[in-house]
Chain A
Amino acid sequence: MNRRSLWLSASLVLVLLLTGAGAALGQVSGEVEIFSWWAGDEGPALEAIIAEFERQNPGVRINNATVTGGAGVNAKAVLKTRMLGGDPPSTFQVHAGQELIGTWVIARRMENLDWLFEEEGWYDVFPAALIELSSTDEGVWSVPVNIHRSNVLWYIPANLERWGVSVPKTWDEFLEIAPVLQAQGIIPLSLGENWTATHLWESVALAVLGPEKWSALWTGELAFTDPEAVAVWDLFGEILQYTNADAASLSWQQATDMVVNGDAAFNIMGDWAAGYMSTTLGLEPGTGFGWAASPGTEGIFMMLSDAFGLPVGAPNRDGVIAWLRWIGSREAQDIFNPLKGSIAPRLDSDLSKYDAYGQSAARDWQTNVIVGSLAHGVTANEQFMNDFATAMEIFLATRNSQAAANAAQAIAIQSGIGR
């Protein structure tokens, strides 16, 4: 335990004693405002852990403040205006990694959570790679509540059999079978609106670069203009030839629908697609729809994680800490994740509570090499993510790999990647 966290724990104990709440540990009261963008399909999962938390802590009332909008596009803007205006919520949902670190941690608006991880023994139950991605030199800053996987290839087994193709293990294999599919009038790979192009790009990049060099991009050790990184754009361009022309007007669900309806053979999407296909479309995992690691990324788990942290000056700090302890617990994570369609970050979760896809993902989570996702805020700060859309736009408009790579490198320098 380092000195800083000792001080923090000491002062925490003092605060608890002074307020008289420390008599019975965990006895907290008042209102805790939880700010998130989990409003739609994800609402029930959040409500379930809130209900259980309130049952166990009768004195606390949770104010469930949600701002709708996919991937938190509106919620993040509202959060920023509230923080700038000096009205922080008790705690807020954020993607673990640089989305939190690059915006809030470097702004000195978050409290370090080393002491909490120490107390709860979380250093042993969360994979080291996840803790490293959520940390800076000064320690860890957020408690992860779920894990999604980005590099997953989805298909319908019966359709592949009918078309006489098998699941491609590498992109070379994909490029071989793609013309076969096209000849039958099938779109080889369905794609949706712009962010799903970035999502596809990161899977391609992971396949081309491998886990070490992928991570090196984000520490600044590998330049985007390195020939190997430029080759990512070349392959990405080749793959784009086999995607649907109307991609930009489709949501990710519509792109998944193309695979389910038999208009397209494959789709690369995060594993929230499993929840969509099993819950919304009523398909059986494994037989109704199938999955594999995206080509060339077998044995690598590209992850993203929703997390909560402790803002400096958060109203009802004790309440927030109780909430953080709760969402990091095995019990809460095993209530939340089966409902949300994600897996628990903890390595000791009860797999019997999950469906076939969840169990398979959890096994991979325990054994695979873990890397962070770009499209979902783990590896790069918000400025890079916002501007990376420009690099993508330059590529889509010109199909010039070098120009896109140059733009990406310029953006990396401007937004201080690896600094």
Chain B
Amino acid sequence: MKSRQERLIALAMVAPSLVLLAIFVYGFIGQTIYVSMSDWGRGAALALDPDISFIGLDNFKDLFTGFLDVRFRQDMVNMVALSILFVGGCLVVGLVLATLLDQGVRGEGFFRTVFLFPMSLSFIVTGTIWRWMLQPRGGINVLPTLVGLPRIEFAWLTSREQIGRWNWQDVPTLLGLLLAVVFFVLAARWWLAGARRRAAAGGVLAAAALVWAFTAATKIEVLPFPEYHGFNLALIGIVLAGVWQMSGYTMALFLAGLRGIPDEVREAARVDGASWWQLYRHVELPLLKPIIWSAVIILGHIALKAFDLIFVMAGPDNAATSVPAISMYLTAFRGNQFAKGAAIAVVLLTLVSVLIVPYLVSTLRSREEN
């Protein structure tokens, strides 16, 4: 048991950083949320004493259902696609590299450095290099001509091609379906774990969400006209650059994880007659699970906040590769619509919190258990 005095000293030591955090992090988050619910940006936005009034959630409503905010909605779609591909790409490439290096190749230290090296660059440098390489008239596109093949005609970062197009008016239905799937998965897991009653509740909720998706949800009018969004092929270039930069990092994480598995475990499996694949699939991969989760959280929030890489690679006005962070910057600092910019920031903050808070809670809890 610590003495009272020790506690006081401890408090005094952390107090300055608590105060600074309270002002410069939470204070400004609060201010941003307040600005996002105001109309700062109408008329003389930059006056010494701008005329700001509270308008509630109108800015958010505009962003998701306003005629002129079509770019923000495509940005959201871009962001989701980018996050999934970037995180998935980094995990797969990192895992493959780590597994290969773990086989005891000669010069492992050398390869480890090579793969980890891109991480030491800033996204600005990576973006510039890849912008050059993805120029439609040079770089990667002319590589095949070196061996006599025709050049590639894909306009990497500026392609307007879109696949998987869907109507923004269907958003409520799609959300309902998503909810149904989540409940269903939960129900199935509870069922397998033997929690029958919970499983039944989950099943009922899943069914309710499904019914809602096809009845009430179809009647909600999000937009008065159809508006199509889809996956922009131009994002592939951004994903390539991002994966190139960050897969070395996931490799390092996985390699550390693989090295952390005690040899006894592997030997026990071999004694039981497991093949190389069985050992990998049923012993090593499951033990890497916590690492996968950390990697998803860390890479996921990088993807959600992506700004510099895209700004440098494709420029601020290239709508095909734009994400909410870029729109936020342009809306606030070029268009002088500070309230709407703040609203985009709050949407981003919410999404990042959805990703990070459960992670923080679960790590805190497991630490307490230990």
Is A382 touching B155 in the complex (CB atoms < 8 A)? no
Residues in chain A near residue B316, CB distance under 8 A: 73
Question: Does B35 count as interface, using CB distance less than 8 angstroms?
Answer: no
In the assembly, what is the distance between CA of A381 and CA of B70, in Å? Answer: 21
With CB as the reference atom, state the residue of chain A lying closest to B330.
A386
Task: Indicate with 1 or 0, residue by residue over B41-80, a CB within 8 angstroms of chain A CB atoms.
Answer: 1011111101000000000000000011011000000000
Name the interface residues of B133-191: CB closer than 8 Å to any CB of A. 135-137, 155-158, 160
Cβ-neighbour of A410 out of B68, B330, B333, B336 (below 8 A):
B68
Q: Is the beta-carbon distance between A387 and B68 smaller than 8 angstroms?
A: yes
Check: A281 CB closer than 8 A to any chain B CB.
no
Given that A73-B334, A193-B317, A249-B136 are contacting pairs, would A390 and B71 also be in contact in the complex, using a CB cutoff of 8 Å? yes
Q: In the assembly, what is the distance between CA of A192 and CA of B45, in Å?
A: 32
Q: How far apart sit A162 and B211, CA to CA, in the bound complex (Å)? A: 69
Give the interface segment out of A99-107, A122-130, A317-325. A99-107
CB distance from A271 to the nearest CB of B (A): 22
Pair A411/B317 contact, Cβ less than 8 Å? no
Whether A80 sits at the interface, judged by CB under 8 Å, is: yes
Give, as a whole number of angstroms, the nearest-CB distance from B104 to chain A.
Answer: 44
Binary A-proximity of B316-343 (CB < 8 A = 1, otherwise 0): 1111100000000111011111000000
Q: Say whether B47 contacts A108, CB under 8 Å.
A: yes
> Is B315's CB within 8 Å of the partner chain A?
yes
- For B137, what are the chain A residues with a Cβ–Cβ distance below 8 Å? 246
Task: For A103, give its contact among B46, B67, B68 (CB under 8 Å).
Answer: B46
Cα distance, A81 to B333, chains bound together (Å)? 8
Contact check, A248 vs B45: say whether CB atoms are below 8 A apart.
no
Instruction: Collect the chain B residues with CB atoms within 8 Å of residue A57's CB.
Output: none
Query: Is A416 close to B, CB under 8 A?
Result: yes
Majority DSSP secondary structure for residues of A touching B? helix
Residue of B43, B70, B318, B329 most packed against chain A (CB within 10 A): B43
Contact A109–B333 (Cβ < 8 Å): no
A387 to B352, CA, bound (A): 27
In the complex the two chains form, is B68's CB within 8 Å of A83's CB? no
Q: Is the CB of B43 within 8 A of A248?
A: no
Pick from A106, A195, A411: contact of B68, CB below 8 A. Answer: A411
A383 to B68, CA, bound (A): 13
From residue B319, how far is it (CB to closest CB) to chain A in Å? 5
Q: Does A414 contact B (CB under 8 A)?
A: yes
Q: Report the bound CA distance from A392 to B160 in whole Å.
A: 14
Answer whether residue A160 sits at the interface, using C-beta atoms and an 8 A cutoff: no
B318 touches A194 (CB 8 A): yes
Chain B proximity mask over A86-128: 1 for CB below 8 Å, otherwise 0: 0000000000000000011011110000000000000000000
* CB contact under 8 A between A109 and B160, given known A76-B333, A382-B335: no
* B-contacting 9-mer, from A37-45, A138-146, A363-371, A393-401: A393-401
**Partner of B318 from A248, A382, A387 at Cβ < 8 Å:** A248
Tell me the chain A residues, 186-206 only, with Cβ under 8 Å from chain B.
Answer: 193-195
Partner of A107, one of B47, B67, B329: B47
The complex places the Cα of A80 from the Cα of B329 at a distance, in Å, of: 12
**Inter-subunit contact B335/A195 (CB<8 Å):** no
A356 at interface (Cβ–Cβ under 8 A)? Answer: no
Query: Which B residues are CB-close (under 8 A) to A249?
Result: 135-136, 155-158
Determine whether A389 belongs to the interface, using a CB cutoff of 8 Å to chain B. yes
Q: Mark A152-172, 1 if CB is under 8 A from B, else 0.
A: 000000000000000000000
The reply to whether A386 and B160 form a contact with Cβ atoms under 8 Å apart is no
A245:B155 contact, CB within 8 angstroms: yes
Q: A73-B334, A386-B330 are in contact. Are A104 and B46 (CB under 8 A)?
A: yes
With CB as the reference atom, state the residue of chain B lying closest to A73: B316
Docked complex Cα distance between A249 and B317 (Å): 11
Nearest chain A CB to B50 CB, angstrom units: 8
Name the distance in Å between B342's Cβ and chain A's nearest Cβ. 13
Contacts of A387 in B (CB 8 A): 68, 335
Nearest CB on B from A378, distance (A):
16
Contacts of B158 in A (CB 8 A): 246-249
Give the shortest distance, in Å, between B128 (CB) and chain A (any CB).
14
Given known A193-B317, A249-B135, A249-B155, contact A383–B335 (CB-CB < 8 A): yes
Q: Given contacts A390-B68, A397-B160, is CB(A108)–CB(B333) below 8 Å?
A: no
Check B155 against A248 for contact (C-beta < 8 Å).
yes
Q: When the two chains form their complex, are residues A394 and B44 in contact, meaning their CB atoms are under 8 A apart?
A: no
Please measure, in the bound complex, the distance between the C-alpha atom of A108 and the C-alpha atom of B45, giving whole angstroms: 11
Inter-chain contact A107/B334, CB cutoff 8 Å:
no
B43 in contact with A382 (CB, 8 Å): no
Q: Give, as a whole number of angstroms, the nearest-CB distance from B226 to chain A.
A: 11
What is the minimal beta-carbon distance from A407 to any residue of chain B, in angstroms?
6
Chain A residues with Cβ below 8 Å from B45 are 103, 107
Cβ contacts A to B, 22 pairs, < 8 Å: A73-B316, A73-B334, A80-B333, A104-B46, A106-B43, A106-B47, A107-B47, A107-B48, A193-B318, A245-B155, A247-B158, A249-B136, A249-B155, A381-B336, A382-B334, A386-B330, A387-B335, A390-B71, A393-B70, A394-B70, A407-B68, A416-B43
Chain A residues with a Cβ under 8 A of chain B: 73, 76-77, 80-81, 83-84, 103-104, 106-109, 193-195, 245-249, 381-383, 385-387, 389-390, 393-394, 396-397, 407, 410-411, 414, 416
5 nearest interchain CB pairs? A386-B335, A248-B158, A77-B333, A107-B47, A194-B317
- Contacts A249-B155, A386-B336, A410-B67 known; list 10 others, CB within 8 Å: A106-B43, A107-B50, A249-B156, A249-B158, A382-B334, A386-B337, A390-B71, A393-B71, A393-B319, A394-B70
